[in-house]
Amino acid sequence: MSFELTILGSNSAAPAHSRHQSSQFLRLENHTFLIDCGEGTQMQITRYRLKLGRLKHIFISHLHGDHYLGLVGLLSTLNLRNRQDALHIFGPPGLDDIISLHLKYTETVLGYKVHFRALDPNQSEVILDNQQLTVTTIPMDHRIPCTGFLFKEKPKKFRLKKSSDLTQMSFDEINTLKNGQNVMANNHIKYALKEYTDPPYKPRSYAYCSDTRYNETIIPYIKSVDLLYHESTFLSDREQRAYETYHSSARQAATIALKAGVEKLILGHFSIRYKDLSPLLAEARQVFPNSQLAIEGQKVSIQLDSHEQEA
């Protein structure tokens, strides 16, 4: 029942101060996802002993090199490992051209299918919908087409308490309880929901917002998420520079987190100019105390919480 994010890269623009470029590895139960894929991502995956066997979906936010230049190498390595399962890549229009051109010149025919879906940077779309979660794009405010991604678990079922009565229930009766209803018989309650179940776990959610200017239009998409990654390239004394380069300050990232009422904020996409990142963290915590830095190799988990499901 894990919902675990591993930071693979936290730097913007170019690798520096032993920090790599943007990439994150998200594990949600038996699904694994890769979000952005800067140069060296495949080495980082190896360094942190992450497994690629279950990776079926890669999400690329935009076509700045620090977010995608590790992709072709990763595809090639998966091919060398005799991958056979299809891989789904979501990214901006043009990413497919780039992949195709590399494969053409390397004279490579991948042994697995790549399904590419071009994302529309101007509107939010549900791009993945399975039994466990949905993935929805979030339009970012960046210099070139760019989308964030919201990973949200599906509403969960009520949890059956231990009871000897369960053995007497039919499959339909158990499903009725799991779906949050009393089991009725002749207009009477046969098995009461409260007696036989605990409330469902709250569906967990993670929003990845990089790269973007400070822009409050993203707030409705990320409202109340458990975990928000928001780029914070600069300190607030460079907000003019952030605006000009379509980036955000740590203070701005924290302001978005506060206004969206999220549970926890992770700061990342740090400018090369900052070797010591503690001033960025301090600045964010002044606005939003539950902030932390994206540290490579660090895992951030969202625990199951049995609060009542939101309406």
**What residues are paired with 175 via a beta bridge?**
none
**What residues are paired with 300 via a beta bridge?**
5
Q: For the range 97-104, what are the long-range contacts, defined as Cβ-Cβ under 8 Å and sequence gap of 24 or more? A: 98/63, 98/68, 98/72, 99/71, 99/72, 99/75, 102/72
Tokens 């409260």 belong to 194
Our CB check for a copy of itself shows the closer of 80 and 185 to be 80
* Active-site annotation holds for 66: yes
Our CB check for a copy of itself shows the closer of 155 and 297 to be 297
ω before 165 within 30° of 0 (cis)?
A: no
Minimum Å gap between C-beta 22 and a copy of itself is 13
Minimum Å gap between C-beta 106 and a copy of itself is 6
Minimum Å gap between C-beta 286 and a copy of itself is 30
Our CB check for a copy of itself shows the closer of 118 and 304 to be 118
Minimum Å gap between C-beta 44 and a copy of itself is 10
Contact footprint for a copy of itself (CB under 8 A): 13-16, 20, 39-40, 42-43, 46, 63-66, 69-70, 72-73, 76-77, 80, 92, 94-95, 97-98, 101-102, 104-107, 143-144, 272
CA–CA distance, 33 with 29 (Å, rounded to integer): 11
Residue 47 host element (H or E)? helix 41-47
Our CB check for a copy of itself shows the closer of 11 and 255 to be 11
Q: Which of 66, 141, 211, 226 is the catalytic position? A: 66
Instruction: Extract the tokens encoding 285.
Output: 């915590």
Best CA proximity match to 215, nearest among 248, 237, 245: 248
Q: List the catalytic residues.
A: 66
